[in-house]
Structure 1
Amino acid sequence: MGHSHDHSHSHAGHGHSHDHVITDSADARRRVAIAAFLTFGFMFAEVIGGVISGSLALLADAAHMLTDAGSLALAWLGFKLAERPADQHRSFGWARFKILAAFVNGLALLVLAAWIVFEAIHRLMAPEPVMGHVLMGVAIAGLLVNIIAFTLMHGGDSEDLNLQGALWHVAGDLLGSVAAIAAALIIIFTGWMPIDPILSVLVALLIVIGGVRITMKSAHILIEGVPAGMTPADIKTDLESHLENAAEVTHVHAWALNEQKPLVTLEVVAREGACLDTLRVAVKQRMDEKFGVSHATVEVRKPVQ
Structure 2
Amino acid sequence: MFTSPARRALRLAEQQVGVVSRRQLYGLGVTRGEVRAHVRAQRWRRVGTQSVAVHLGPLPVEARRWAAVFEAGPRAMLDGLSALEAAGLQHVTSPLVRVSVPRGAKVRPGHGRRWGFDIRQTRRWSADDLEATGIPRTQPAVAAVRAALWARSAKEAALVLTTTVQQRLAVADDLGREALRIRRDRRRGLVLAVVMDLVGGVESLGELNVVRECRRRGIPPPSRQVVRRTRRGTYYLDLVWEEWKVVVEVDGIQHLWAGRVVDDALRQNAVTLTDATVLRLPLLGLRLEPDEFFAQIVDALRAAGCPGLGRLSA
Q: Does TM, normalized by the shorter one, top 0.5?
A: no
What's the TM-score, normalizing by structure 1?
Answer: 0.28
Higher relative contact order (CA 8 A, sep 6+): 1
What's the TM-score, normalizing by structure 2?
Answer: 0.28
The structure richer in strand per residue is 2
The structure richer in helix per residue is 1
